[in-house]
Structure 1
Amino acid sequence: MYSQPVSCSSIIAQTTRPFVSFHQQLGCFHSDWHQHKWGQFIYAEKGCIHINSREKHILIPGWYGVWVPANTEHQIWSNHSQLSIRSVCFPVTDNVASLHQSIVVFPISSLLREMIHYTEKWSHGPNNDGQALTFLRAFQDLLPEAIEKSIVTQLPSTNHQKLLPVITYIHAHLAQPISFMWLASEFGFSARTLSRLFTQQLGTSFSSYCKIARIMRALELIEIGCDNVSQLAAAVGYESLATFSNNFLEICGHRPLQFIRSKRTKWLTR
């Protein structure tokens, strides 16, 4: 599948305005590694967006938003052919702590959704920059409350040479039960050593890592049309539907069926 390269560095460098508004149906794409002096809000429609930072891999489900603080090095990509991306970069006031901390994913209210759609008018050429900045300050003021409802669709990254093959195996086999003891033996670790590596290198346990990875995979499957909860649970390695539903609720704030129905409604109204 072809992935369109997008140079976010060039888009930022070429702007002569005190903000950037970017709205485009990109489909499958990948950006360069970049950072900018402004905060960035990104909204995904009809597909997931992935963000890599130096410490984490973050998944943004369709119809969700993500905030990227200023001066955060990151890369953006998607493998969804119908994806539309909406983004604004703008200066952020210093007194909003939650906008200066870390990348965060959160559901978007109807008001924020309409506001981000409104900013598309600024992506087509000259406009009243003062009016736009006033609007973006109002937009900024709504973000802290939205961020309070953030979801944990992110996994820590590592460059540890012995741990990387283990992580690769986990992601390739999320549809199957994965025994920690077998995994340690297969990759030449004692159970204690592998457990310590997960804690030291990733800051989490093996079970927590797998739980989040499975739910992130489920979110991707939902985006490509899997809307049967039982099939979805089985596809990401759950034998217990109740456990899958509880873990999905813990991470996403909704039961799987509720999440799917909400997403279906948004597809029909856009």
Structure 2
Amino acid sequence: MNSQYYLTEVDKDPKSIFCYYNLKGENFIELHSHSKGQFLYTEGGVVFIKTNTSEYYLPARHYMWIPSHVKHAIYPSSPKVIMKNIYFPENLNSADFYKKEGIYPINNLLMELLLFTANWKGDITSGQKNKFIIFNAFKAILEESFSTSLPIELPHPKDGRLIAIVNYLKESIHEEHLLPKLAAKFSMTDKSVYRLFKKDFGMSYIKYYTQLRIFKSLEYLVNSDHNISEIGSMVGYNSLPTFSNTFTKVMGKRPSEYRKSNEIYA
């Protein structure tokens, strides 16, 4: 699908609810925005969503809410990824949930509604009474049932020194990078690197580095046949228990449980 589709059709009727399901095989959807808020659900892999401030990792069986007018680009991790999108008109009186970016696990009720509406496509208007009511109910359920947003995002570095450090960490994710050795490589002190991360990201080096490794492992878990021990090693962990326990602490489930949940619904 031409990415211009997202810049024209979605907002053509400002009062409609617009749906497009089963986007599959997309490699990249360029930076764009909508005057409508976007519900983005994914199956079969990880989707990377980049905004002006952060990079989000949307795992399978989760959804992201993207508020209206937020510029974002979308990168599916694999051609196997399926995306389902519903765009809702902006409401100035909307609850706080709709005003901020967030990633949430999908619940059974929302999943059933997605399956029920699987063949619906394009503009859903008030003239299509039953369909319009169902999607408005869907939006109300989002507001009523959401839990705390999962912190599956990494901020973009601004400082030139930090950009170089982050790029190095990403390029050599298979190695373990202890702070003293990392600082020495960039001719900095431990304290200088620590302060740089806190000032630019508002988090410690250890927290950022841990999240980077775990988020990268999500991609390996759903897009490769490597066993969990191998995946731990691929993101720099020498110990399977350490990797598994850290993954569970960050993601709320064990790597094996996450891999099993990565099924595609019809």
- Tell me whether the two structures share a fold, i.e. TM-score over 0.5: yes
TM-score normalized by the length of structure 2: 0.89
| Alignment deviations for residues 30-53 of structure 1 (CA, whole Å, 9 cap, x no partner) | 122222222110011212111001
Q: SS of the counterpart of 1:20?
A: strand
Query: Hey, what does 1:38 align to over in structure 2?
Result: 36
Aligned 8 A contact 2:175 2:235 in 1 = yes
Unpaired stretches in structure 1, ≥5 consecutive residues: none
TM-score normalized by the length of structure 1: 0.87
Query: Hey, what does 2:176 align to over in structure 1?
Result: 177
Aligned pair in 2 of structure 1 residues 126, 89: CA closer, same or farther (>3 Å)? closer
Aligned pair in 2 of structure 1 residues 113, 161: CA closer, same or farther (>3 Å)? same
C-alpha distance in 2, partners of 1:111/1:129?
Answer: 22
Query: Hey, what does 1:70 align to over in structure 2?
Result: 68
Query: Hey, what does 1:108 align to over in structure 2?
Result: 106
- How far does residue 56 in structure 1 lie from its aligned partner after superposition? 0.6
C-alpha distance in 2, partners of 1:92/1:143?
Answer: 15
* 1:52-91 alignment runs, 5 A limit: 52-91=50-89
Higher relative contact order (CA 8 A, sep 6+): 2
Aligned pair in 2 of structure 1 residues 41, 260: CA closer, same or farther (>3 Å)? same
Aligned 8 A contact 1:195 1:206 in 2 = yes
Letter in 2 for 1:58: Y
C-alpha distance in 1, partners of 2:217/2:184?
Answer: 28
- How far does residue 125 in structure 1 lie from its aligned partner after superposition? 6.8
Aligned-residue CA RMSD (Å): 2.3
C-alpha distance in 1, partners of 2:174/2:16?
Answer: 46
Letter in 1 for 2:34: H
Aligned 8 A contact 1:25 1:82 in 2 = no
C-alpha distance in 2, partners of 1:124/1:117?
Answer: 16
Q: Does 1:236 align with 2:235?
A: yes
Aligned 8 A contact 1:5 1:30 in 2 = no
* 1:255-270 alignment runs, 5 A limit: 255-263=254-262, 266-267=263-264, 270=266
| Alignment deviations for residues 2-55 of structure 1 (CA, whole Å, 9 cap, x no partner) | xx7623213324457612111233324212222222211001121211100111
Aligned 8 A contact 1:43 1:63 in 2 = yes
* 1:1-270 alignment runs, 5 A limit: 6-7=3-4, 8-15=6-13, 18-91=16-89, 93=91, 94-100=93-99, 102-123=100-121, 128-148=127-147, 150-226=149-225, 228-263=227-262, 266-267=263-264, 270=266
C-alpha distance in 2, partners of 1:78/1:228?
Answer: 22
C-alpha distance in 2, partners of 1:196/1:55?
Answer: 20
Unpaired stretches in structure 2, ≥5 consecutive residues: none
After TM superposition, the structure 1 stretch with the greater mean CA deviation from structure 2, 156-165 or 86-95, is 86-95
Letter in 2 for 1:147: F
Q: SS of the counterpart of 2:175?
A: coil
C-alpha distance in 2, partners of 1:97/1:126?
Answer: 24
Aligned 8 A contact 2:222 2:259 in 1 = no
C-alpha distance in 1, partners of 2:189/2:204?
Answer: 15
C-alpha distance in 2, partners of 1:250/1:150?
Answer: 15
Letter in 1 for 2:3: V
Q: SS of the counterpart of 1:217?
A: helix
Aligned 8 A contact 1:227 1:260 in 2 = no
| Alignment deviations for residues 42-79 of structure 1 (CA, whole Å, 9 cap, x no partner) | 01121211100111100111222111122222111223
Q: SS of the counterpart of 2:170?
A: helix
Percentage of matched positions with identical amino acids = 24
| Alignment deviations for residues 193-223 of structure 1 (CA, whole Å, 9 cap, x no partner) | 2211111111111111111111111110111
